[in-house]
Chain A
């Protein structure tokens, strides 16, 4: 691998990604516009910061409780498991888009540098991105444990190494999975579908596998005198950690002192080094072939039937919605980021609950039965379900990146003889359909897995179905007013888009504003549930009705104001 080419390419890619040159030019030309951007950035930073602070506080409280019985080791254990699995799951989708679906993939392949170098540049980029996003998740964990166990400078040095390995390991692992997958996909005609379905299956399969493992754990704990004897000698948690070797290595490196800890640290470094070397070696063989396979697409040459029904006329708004749906479902990254929320989350919930409930895991079963018992009041259940489906709906990127996803095609919105409000309504309709589908699936899976009362589900939908309209409109409005149209790969358009975070925060705020006071009034002030529901329904229905004219006004302003 040519190291100077590697550094040059990586620098170029990062500049492009962070739009450093664009920002510089903007600062020169329009110093006042810069402040607006800074304000938005601060707002988002504040939102993320407050979430992260809340999370740190939770970790701290949990850590103190655990430390009182001497098992604070559980904190880094859970942190490492969560960090590694989320990097593995998110990393697979992210890698596919960065490695294979970037617009510049062809151009890079044509450069006189080896496939390995291009691969190394791309995966380093993914690594840096994951490292940045993992800071608010993993560092509270490391710091809390450090404080609890009184770790010194050496502990924090070890923590940095463990943190970097905890990211690079799953990332290279999913690279090792995706490299052959993409190479093999040459043999499959509908590659985009393969990528989407493969990604979804990977996600569900991973969670199902975990559940199976933990249910096996549970039965191991229950059965056998020999196993009981084992359980007495080796901690249950250590056995869980041992099931995932990198977690085990990281955990030991962090929690032990002295030379033995350094031994585990060396082991961790060796494993991640070996995996990285393997991934880079493999990429030299098959990466570029996989890239060229992705840029091909299946050519349907069947003749069009000009007398058939394929020429039906549709209203512009409906046509807009259908186009939006087709583009989203057919673009792997968009499909993963929208469908995963709508389909994968309810399915995961179902798997977790069913596996947990039936395998006789005592704690989970107790938790579920507690939930069911406390929620015999369908009115209260309704509110909780409404809150839950709103929060899950917030994570959907369908609305909050609807304009950004147009990218350079945005110019067409100005050319078409259709009012901007109508175009935006088409996008809203699509996002709403997805959100409502997600709500229905969540409600169904709650019914099946936790046997929640049907009345509660219906009451919940009564609130959340109209509430979804203002929430989705808000998310769309944010993207209309400040879309990110300059991007080279589709991940940038959705996941590395500030609007996704802003939309999520806005939706969370709306959900909190609706649900928290209602729960307070119902439980503390004993206000009649019927009254609360009537008010909530009326407010949300009014907000929904007000959303449409608001969106139209916003589109009229936003669509013509964006600079292209």
Chain B
């Protein structure tokens, strides 16, 4: 569903190699979790997949369509939830969702049905008539989630989607991810919440300094150490400097 082949990206400002020869194959119908320390390049990778940035080297293929050959067809297969809290403050929630539907070409009948179902599921239907400026952080995040799902995308990409959500909403989003995959779609998300990644993901990729240092199911990552938590695996693989003396 999503294939990255030796993708590299260097930010012109600062000369950081944010993504370094990254190859990845996310299969249809799976939930793929993307974890790594701060500054590892997760957000950069996601921006490369969504077309916000273009890679210096390598190719990205979405649902069989290389993104630089036919960017429009590739982007149509995506639903994207960014990590930032920026939003079109002066639109109402409903206006925003309608705008997204127009952009992705969702028919009138489909959009009414989907917006209703999704907004009720995320408990946002009461706020849709209000302007986004008056939303709380979590409400904005829910609106972004709904906006990314209105066109029922084959590939759903989320950058740290749990930030700022209440436990109930986290539960809903986890169910939504599973349901989305069960319907034959693919979910790709980055997170720092390792318990969620551990329980939710079919496969997990660990990124460090722009390189994929491990990828596989939880069992494969444990590599023999039965019963080790993802946290332990993560800290071992990424070299934990947190151990040692904590004098202050």
- B102, A319: Cβ atoms under 8 Å? yes
The answer, yes or no, to whether B84 is at the interface (CB within 8 Å) is yes
Interface residues of A in 269-301 (CB under 8 A from B): 296-301
Q: Flag the segment in B20-28, B88-96, B180-188 that touches A.
A: B88-96
The answer, yes or no, to whether A235 is at the interface (CB within 8 Å) is no
The answer, yes or no, to whether B106 is at the interface (CB within 8 Å) is yes
A298 in complex: contacting residue of B50, B99, B134, CB < 8 Å: B134
Contact with A along B103-135 (1 / 0, CB 8 A): 111111001100110010000011111110110
Residues of B within 8 A of A192 (CB): 90
Shortest B38–chain A CB gap in Å is: 20
A301 in complex: contacting residue of B50, B82, B84, B129, CB < 8 Å: B129
- A299, B134: Cβ atoms under 8 Å? yes
Interface residues of A in 296-316 (CB under 8 A from B): 296-304, 306-307, 310-316
The answer, yes or no, to whether B224 is at the interface (CB within 8 Å) is no
- B108, A301: Cβ atoms under 8 Å? no
> Nearest 4 A-B pairs (CB), nearest first?
A319-B102, A417-B75, A417-B76, A330-B90
Contact with B along A521-564 (1 / 0, CB 8 A): 00000000000000000000000000000000000000010011
- A314, B129: Cβ atoms under 8 Å? no
- Write the chain B residue with the least CB distance to A564: B52
B90 in complex: contacting residue of A319, A326, A407, CB < 8 Å: A326
What are 13 A-B contacts defined by CB distance under 8 Å?
Answer: A25-B14, A297-B131, A303-B125, A304-B94, A306-B115, A311-B108, A316-B102, A319-B98, A326-B90, A327-B91, A408-B86, A415-B51, A563-B13
- B91, A301: Cβ atoms under 8 Å? no
The answer, yes or no, to whether B228 is at the interface (CB within 8 Å) is no
- B82, A411: Cβ atoms under 8 Å? yes
Q: How far is the CA of A299 from the CA of B95 in the complex (A)?
A: 15
The answer, yes or no, to whether B12 is at the interface (CB within 8 Å) is yes
- B91, A315: Cβ atoms under 8 Å? no
- B103, A319: Cβ atoms under 8 Å? yes
Residues of A within 8 A of B191 (CB): none
A300 in complex: contacting residue of B80, B92, B105, B106, CB < 8 Å: B92
The answer, yes or no, to whether B78 is at the interface (CB within 8 Å) is yes
Count residues of A near B (Cβ-Cβ below 8 Å): 43
- Write the chain A residue with the least CB distance to B82: A411
Residues of A within 8 A of B92 (CB): 300
Shortest A24–chain B CB gap in Å is: 12
Q: How far is the CA of A411 from the CA of B72 in the complex (A)?
A: 15
- B54, A319: Cβ atoms under 8 Å? no
Q: A314-B102, A319-B99 are in contact. Are A296 and B134 (CB under 8 A)?
A: yes
Q: How far is the CA of A418 from the CA of B116 in the complex (A)?
A: 25
A306 in complex: contacting residue of B73, B91, B112, CB < 8 Å: B112
The answer, yes or no, to whether A11 is at the interface (CB within 8 Å) is no
Shortest B217–chain A CB gap in Å is: 30
- B13, A417: Cβ atoms under 8 Å? no
Residues of A within 8 A of B50 (CB): 414-415
Q: How far is the CA of A296 from the CA of B86 in the complex (A)?
A: 17
Q: How far is the CA of A475 from the CA of B211 in the complex (A)?
A: 43
- Write the chain A residue with the least CB distance to B51: A414
The answer, yes or no, to whether B101 is at the interface (CB within 8 Å) is yes
Residues of A within 8 A of B134 (CB): 296-299
The answer, yes or no, to whether A331 is at the interface (CB within 8 Å) is yes
- A25, B51: Cβ atoms under 8 Å? no
Residues of A within 8 A of B104 (CB): 416-417
- B82, A323: Cβ atoms under 8 Å? no
Q: How far is the CA of A53 from the CA of B107 in the complex (A)?
A: 58
Q: A306-B116, A311-B108 are in contact. Are A415 and B80 (CB under 8 A)?
A: yes
Residues of B within 8 A of A315 (CB): 102
Q: How far is the CA of A312 from the CA of B78 in the complex (A)?
A: 23
- A417, B72: Cβ atoms under 8 Å? yes
- A311, B112: Cβ atoms under 8 Å? yes
B54 in complex: contacting residue of A296, A304, A323, A560, CB < 8 Å: A560
Q: A299-B134, A303-B129, A306-B115 are in contact. Are A30 and B12 (CB under 8 A)?
A: yes
Residues of A within 8 A of B131 (CB): 297-298, 300, 330
- A299, B130: Cβ atoms under 8 Å? yes
A304 in complex: contacting residue of B99, B108, B129, CB < 8 Å: B129
Residues of A within 8 A of B126 (CB): 301, 303
Interface residues of B in 51-102 (CB under 8 A from A): 51-54, 72-73, 75-76, 78, 80, 82, 84, 86-88, 90-92, 94-95, 98-99, 101-102
The answer, yes or no, to whether B227 is at the interface (CB within 8 Å) is no
Shortest B100–chain A CB gap in Å is: 8
- B125, A313: Cβ atoms under 8 Å? no
Q: How far is the CA of A560 from the CA of B71 in the complex (A)?
A: 11
Q: A315-B102, A326-B90 are in contact. Are A408 and B112 (CB under 8 A)?
A: no
Residues of B within 8 A of A307 (CB): 112
The answer, yes or no, to whether B15 is at the interface (CB within 8 Å) is yes
- A326, B129: Cβ atoms under 8 Å? no
Q: How far is the CA of A311 from the CA of B126 in the complex (A)?
A: 17
Q: A311-B98, A327-B90, A417-B76 are in contact. Are A304 and B103 (CB under 8 A)?
A: no
Residues of A within 8 A of B13 (CB): 25-26, 29, 563
Shortest B106–chain A CB gap in Å is: 7
Q: How far is the CA of A29 from the CA of B92 in the complex (A)?
A: 41
Residues of B within 8 A of A300 (CB): 92, 129-131
